[in-house]
Structure 1
Amino acid sequence: MKTIIGVGLGLIGGSMLLSLKRFYQQAEFLGEDNNEDHLQQANDLNIVSRKAKDQDFKTADLVIVSIPVDTAPKLIEKLLDQVGTQTLVIDTGSTKAKLCEHLAKHPKRDQFMATHPIAGTEFSGPQAAFPSLFDHKTMIICEIEKTNLKLQQRAIQCFENMQMNLRYMNPVAHNKHMAYVSHLSHISSFMLGKTVIDKEENERNIFDLAGSGFESTVRLAKSNPATWTPIFKQNKTFVLEALSEYIHNLKNFEKVLEHDNFEQLYKDMNNTNIVKDILKGIKL
């Protein structure tokens, strides 16, 4: 590949470019971001060499879109109108159903691939990007059959170079699974942080008394609300479903505790310990 463009140069977009730089050392890496500071930081950090121009999109081999999910559909539609016939456009967003529906009838739909790398940290911006973020992580691809075969092969080669594990899903199944294993985790983290902050009038106590358990559980509460609010909005139906089941389990926990049913409490927690076996060998 000769030209790779990142649209959105934060943690995910920046890390994707840095990762690909390891394998396409002769390629030119260009960038675009609505935040001029991010664009300058990405340039200073050698993530990109310069800002992408309109003409660059017509000749690019790969365009990676890593922007909030609410703005992605229209921007990708615009990009598909703009790119050349040999350009592949991929996105990295955490929701897929509305995006795929929006682009379904686009004349260049076969030049788009809906992807979601299951990787990230609680940090944001180009300064948070690093090249090994995606190593051995899962890459979900939705509706791969709708992407041109030659462009499919180009994308898969990139992901295999990055040592990613490929999974294929339809967009609705993707959104449902993400509601449980990703979106609910972020909600839990945000709301635990809110609960403690609301309760602790003396903020110093949080820092003095908080242990590693609290710190690890609220880690995701440091994530960017500008990223996560659109995700919750787009995936509202499945997020509400996951929340309902989660609240049901919390209520049951409250009930058995109120009734001093510690035997049941132990059983519930012990049964949940199976998560250790499920996650065994998975690099998080």
Structure 2
Amino acid sequence: MKNIYVIGVGLIGGSLAKDIKQHNPNVVIHGISRKDATLEQALSLGLIDKKATLDDVQYADLVIVSIPVDATVKLLPSILDKIPDTGLVIDAGSTKEAICKVVENHPKRRNFLAAHPIAGTEHSGPNAAISGLFEGKTNIICEVEKTAFKLQEQALEIFKALGMRIRYMNPEAHDKHIAYVSHLSHISSFMLGKTVIEKEKNERDIFDMAGSGFASTVRLAKSSPEMWTPIFKQNKVNVIETLNEYINNLTQFKEFMEQDDFDAIFKEMQDTNHIKDILNGIN
């Protein structure tokens, strides 16, 4: 594998480029972006070796697609049109059903691997790329049986070198589960931040009085709306289902408060404490 093209050199794409280059110093990383300023920044940071265009993927051994999921759905078929028969395309989108659907009948479907490395921070852009981001993180792969076996092996070698754990799942199950453990967390963070900003008009009070609990809870509210709005749109049905359940739990908690039923509140929190056993060991 010599020529790697990264479409979207931000947090995920840039971090993948950084780690792949570290493990394979001889590969040439080509960056592709709508904005030349992004590529200039990626060059200056050493994330990529050269700037490229979409037409250049005809020379690719590997293409990594790390752009908003709505853009992935639009571009993926044309990317597959252009790549050589031996090339591999991997996406890193947080939704999988729509992405897999758009290429299900593509002549080069065997050249595509649908993946979702569950890693990241609240930051975006080339400056957000960091080494070791994927170490110990889960990478969900969907419809692996539709990817050519030799290309599967190449992808798994890369993921293993980066320290990822692999889990296989169908796209529908992925989107349903990720709505609970990722998408709902982002919505909660955004809406908590909104509630506090609207109520606490004095920004200095927010800064002075907010503890580490508040800061960690609203951390995700710093995430990119350009990335997350398409995710919510593509996973609308599942997100609405999770929101209904979450709102029901909030409503019940409020009712316990109104009824002065603090024994029930204690039990709710005590039962939920089990989450620490489930999440023990997650960074």
**TM-score bracket relative to the smaller structure:** over 0.9
Range that drifts further, 53-62 or 34-43: 53-62
Is the partner of 2:23 in helix, strand or coil?
coil
Aligned partner of 1:73 in structure 2 is: 73
| Cα contact 2:20–2:158 (8 A) shared by 1 | yes
Aligned partner of 2:220 in structure 1 is: 220
Structure 1 residue 142 and structure 2 residue 142: aligned?
Answer: yes
Structure 1 residue 194 and structure 2 residue 194: aligned?
Answer: yes
Q: How far 1:49 sits from its partner (Å)?
A: 1.1
Looking at structure 1, the residues matched to 136 and 22 of structure 2 have their Cα atoms a distance apart, in angstroms, of: 15
Looking at structure 1, the residues matched to 21 and 87 of structure 2 have their Cα atoms a distance apart, in angstroms, of: 18
What 5-or-longer segments of structure 1 have no aligned partner? none
Looking at structure 1, the residues matched to 121 and 35 of structure 2 have their Cα atoms a distance apart, in angstroms, of: 20
Looking at structure 2, the residues matched to 276 and 91 of structure 1 have their Cα atoms a distance apart, in angstroms, of: 31
Deviations 1:214-236 (A, max 9, x none): 00000000000000000000000
Range that drifts further, 21-30 or 177-186: 21-30
Q: How far 1:53 sits from its partner (Å)?
A: 4.5
Structure 1 residue 177 and structure 2 residue 215: aligned?
Answer: no
Looking at structure 1, the residues matched to 168 and 161 of structure 2 have their Cα atoms a distance apart, in angstroms, of: 18
Mapping of 1:4-23 within 5 angstroms?
4-23=4-23
Aligned partner of 1:245 in structure 2 is: 245
| Cα contact 2:32–2:54 (8 A) shared by 1 | no
Aligned partner of 1:31 in structure 2 is: 31
Mapping of 1:41-52 within 5 angstroms?
41-52=41-52
Aligned partner of 1:158 in structure 2 is: 158
CA distance 1:256–1:54, change in 2 (3 Å): closer
Q: How far 1:201 sits from its partner (Å)?
A: 1.7
Q: How far 1:187 sits from its partner (Å)?
A: 0.2
Deviations 1:3-50 (A, max 9, x none): 111000010000010011121111111110112211111000011111
| Cα contact 2:136–2:165 (8 A) shared by 1 | yes
Question: What letter corresponds to residue 274 of structure 2 in structure 1?
Answer: I
Looking at structure 2, the residues matched to 7 and 87 of structure 1 have their Cα atoms a distance apart, in angstroms, of: 15
Q: How far 1:164 sits from its partner (Å)?
A: 0.3
Structure 1 residue 205 and structure 2 residue 205: aligned?
Answer: yes
What 5-or-longer segments of structure 2 have no aligned partner? none
Is the partner of 1:256 in helix, strand or coil?
helix
Q: How far 1:253 sits from its partner (Å)?
A: 0.3
Question: What letter corresponds to residue 254 of structure 1 in structure 2?
Answer: K
Say how many residue pairs are matched. Answer: 283
| Cα contact 2:139–2:165 (8 A) shared by 1 | yes
CA distance 1:233–1:41, change in 2 (3 Å): same
Deviations 1:209-265 (A, max 9, x none): 101010000000000000000000000000000000000000000001110101110
Per the normalisation by structure 2, the TM-score is: 0.98
Aligned partner of 1:58 in structure 2 is: 58
CA distance 1:259–1:277, change in 2 (3 Å): same
Structure 1 residue 119 and structure 2 residue 129: aligned?
Answer: no
Is the partner of 1:134 in helix, strand or coil?
coil
Question: What letter corresponds to residue 179 of structure 1 in structure 2?
Answer: A
